[in-house]
Amino acid sequence: MDRQLTLSALDGPTDQPLLYQTIGAAFDATVARFPDHEALVVRHQGVRWSYLEYQRRVDDLACGLLALGVEAGERVGIWGPNSSEWCLTQFATAKIGAIMVCINPAYRLYELEYALNKVQCRTLITAQQFKTSDYLGMLQSLAPELQSCTPGALRSQRLPHLQRVIQMGTGSVPGMLDFAEVCASGTAADRDLLQQRADSLSPADAINIQFTSGTTGNPKGATLTHLNILNNGKLVGDGMRLTEHDRLCIPVPLYHCFGMVMGNLACITHGATAVFPSEAFDPAATLATVAGERCTALHGVPTMFIAELDLPDFNDYDLSSLRTGIMAGATCPVEVMKRVVGRMHMEEVLIAYGQTETSPVNHMTSSDDSIDKRVSTVGRPAPHCEIKIVDAEGKIVPVGEKGEICCRGYSVMRGYWDDPERTAETIDRDGWLHSGDIGVMDAEGYTQITGRIKDMIIRGGENIYPREVEEFLYTHPEIQEAQVFGITDHRYGEQVCAWIKLREGSSLEVEHILEYCVGQITHFKIPRHVRLVEEFPMTVTGKIQKFLMREHMSRELGIETGNPGDKT
């Protein structure tokens, strides 16, 4: 970049045209080019499929869903850890125009009920269990009618829109359909209908809903189109210089854009191989997979790379095949980046930044950027993205000054599902998405993340909004007021801290509050530190001052205050 900027506004490159295709069409085009090339490897399930075999299985599931009566635009939830079934669901729903709803595998009852009802899921594809989560038990708790209903004909009081539950495991479960049987149920007529459905779809159609926590209450359903996520995956893959000869190890979760967009869609738009090492992140399984599968690329948040580098037997893994990958989710310490480049051979590792609402990447470093740029900035605007940094009045600030990062372009979501108010708060009338993040752009167009307007907590790459945790705590009858905030943590970046004021006469103890959270909200949202207080620090106008609470807790715990940086 030759010219030096004076204002903090820059457009990403546009030399590569956007794809105007549906995900299904793009997938089939890649199959036609590389039918015998390895497409999907899921090590923990023993899955190893060529693109042609992958397509056959995707189409089988798509036809099975059509046979059940799943319509275009209907919401189909997917709830489970990384698996081949998850991948099949992603592409099968895209082919029939159903909107796949990503349900966090760590969700508990309170969150699951809200998510399913918010977007009116009619179908849910679920694993049987994952770690400490008994998915079938939770569903039976929310919908006891499953015990007596005909599979596919659920009528539930608490989940009034849900009709079909498809379980991925083996064995018959009362009221639920079996994943394998659904895949085998399509007929010749359904094959014809699949082609008709494909012909009727538009790249501008909504195809995915991802829940992103809200600053003012319950999660919001960011609604993304084929055009949004297909192109984001393709352009991220371009940034990594992926080809059909690359093998991308994906230990990050599929329910995030990181896994399903920057992983699966980056692969299918380049004919590369998607390789999944385990259900959820495991550092040893990840390195064993990289070595065993000769992966050329590896994704992860900094804490994942740190865990891999710190394995006692790290030197026993041959990682010489690696060259690239994406690191996102939090800022990367310079020493960690040096070790990733040097010891993991990832000379071309990239930093990416964005939000779920931008599909997700809107900034990215390039493979030839210096280590300094890769640890101190999130790179320049991504292709086909307009970026500006504005002050409180919406005016573009000069280079070197702080302001809110705003993005406009193909990647901006359609909006939050059934939530026009919060959509309007996030996307202005000119189409600019306001991130809530504070950044500084330099004269070369590189952006550094310096803080957040939204009081979000980033714990190990997971975005946690205090208000969502507060809303749940308020459901306890003995809690009068709750204030939740993040404090610095050397391992996770930040931890959740809660100051709680009890109702008069309550004898509630901290351990009772933590027990109340278990099984109801995701484990990483449960406060790590809880203090029972009589009052909160406030301004003279009555505004809560969380920064004073943060400073007090940091002193009490003997830690330095800090504010982790970028997120994806």
Give the lowest-confidence range in 33-47, 233-247, 548-562: 548-562
Distance CA 281, CA 267 (A): 19
Residue 184 falls inside a structural domain: yes
pLDDT reported for residue 184:
98
Q: Is the pLDDT of residue 13 over 50?
A: yes
pLDDT reported for residue 562:
41
User: How many other C-beta atoms are found inside a 10 Å radius of the C-beta of residue 7?
Assistant: 14
- Tokens for 394, please give them: 């919406």
> What's the Cα-to-Cα distance from 136 to each of 86, 96, 105, 173, rounded to whole Å?
17, 26, 13, 9
Residue 265 falls inside a structural domain: no
Average pLDDT rounded to a whole number, residues 417-422 = 96
pLDDT reported for residue 564:
34
pLDDT digits (tens, 9 = 90+) for 484-525: 999 988 889 899 999 999 988 999 999 999 999 999 999 999
Q: For residue 162, name the pLDDT band (cuts at 50, 70, 90).
A: very high
pLDDT digits (tens, 9 = 90+) for 306-356: 889 989 999 999 999 999 999 997 778 788 899 999 999 999 999 999 999
Average pLDDT rounded to a whole number, residues 413-433 = 97
Crossing angle of helices 109-118 and 135-142, in 10° steps, is 70
- Greater confidence (94 vs 301) lies with 94
Q: For residue 540, name the pLDDT band (cuts at 50, 70, 90).
A: low
pLDDT reported for residue 565:
35
Contact criterion met (CB below 8 Å) for 472 and 517: yes
Residue 311 falls inside a structural domain: no
pLDDT reported for residue 450:
77
For the chain, what percent of residues have pLDDT higher than 70? 96
- Greater confidence (200 vs 548) lies with 200
Q: Is the pLDDT of residue 266 over 80?
A: yes
- Contacts of residue 310, defined as CB under 8 A and 6 or more positions apart, other chains included, come to 283
Q: Which of 9, 4, 6 lies closest to 394, judged by CA?
A: 9
Name the strands in the sheet holding 529-532, side by side, starting at the edge strand that comes first in the sequence.
479-489, 493-502, 529-532
Distance CA 251, CA 321 (A): 17
- Contacts of residue 221, defined as CB under 8 A and 6 or more positions apart, other chains included, come to 101, 115, 118, 119, 209, 210, 211, 416, 417, 418, 419
Q: Which of 95, 49, 359 lies closest to 223, judged by CA?
A: 359
pLDDT digits (tens, 9 = 90+) for 89-133: 999 999 999 999 999 998 999 999 999 999 999 999 999 999 999
Residue 354 falls inside a structural domain: no
> What's the Cα-to-Cα distance from 101 to each of 73, 126, 133, rounded to whole Å?
11, 12, 19
Q: For residue 566, name the pLDDT band (cuts at 50, 70, 90).
A: very low
Q: Is the pLDDT of residue 150 over 80?
A: yes
Contact criterion met (CB below 8 Å) for 535 and 501: yes
CATH code for the domain in which residue 115 is found: 3.40.50.12780
Contact criterion met (CB below 8 Å) for 283 and 304: yes
pLDDT reported for residue 544:
77
Distance CA 383, CA 395 (A): 23
Q: Which of 220, 254, 269 is the last residue of a domain?
A: 220
**Type of residue at 322:** L
Distance of CA 353 to the CA centre of its chain: 12
Distance CA 84, CA 67 (A): 21
Give me the number of domains the chain comprises.
2
pLDDT reported for residue 491:
86
Residue 257 falls inside a structural domain: no
- Domain extent, residue 547, equals 457-557
Q: For residue 392, name the pLDDT band (cuts at 50, 70, 90).
A: confident
pLDDT reported for residue 212:
86
pLDDT digits (tens, 9 = 90+) for 30-66: 999 999 999 999 999 999 999 999 999 999 999 999 9
pLDDT reported for residue 103:
96
Average pLDDT rounded to a whole number, residues 363-373 = 93
Q: What angle do CA 143, 146, 150 make, to 5 degrees?
A: 145
Name the strands in the sheet holding 385-390, side by side, starting at the edge strand that comes first in the sequence.
9-11, 385-390, 403-409, 433-441, 447-452
User: How many other C-beta atoms are found inside a 10 Å radius of the C-beta of residue 214?
Assistant: 18
Q: Is the pLDDT of residue 455 over 80?
A: no
CATH code for the domain in which residue 478 is found: 3.30.300.30
> What's the Cα-to-Cα distance from 167 to each of 56, 95, 148, 182, 508, rounded to whole Å?
20, 21, 16, 10, 39
Q: Is the pLDDT of residue 454 over 70?
A: no
Residue 433 falls inside a structural domain: no
Residue 201 falls inside a structural domain: yes
Residue 326 falls inside a structural domain: no
DSSP state letters, 483-548: EEEEEEETTTEEEEEEEEEEPTT----HHHHHHHHTTTS-GGGS-SEEEE-S---B-TT--B-HHH
Q: Which of 175, 205, 220 is the last residue of a domain?
A: 220
Average pLDDT, the chain: 93
pLDDT reported for residue 213:
67
pLDDT reported for residue 543:
61
Q: Which of 190, 220, 250 is the last residue of a domain?
A: 220
User: Per residue in 289-322, is it b (16+ CB within 10 Å) or e — as a string?
Assistant: bbbebebbbbbbbbbbbbbbbeeeebeebebebb
pLDDT reported for residue 567:
39
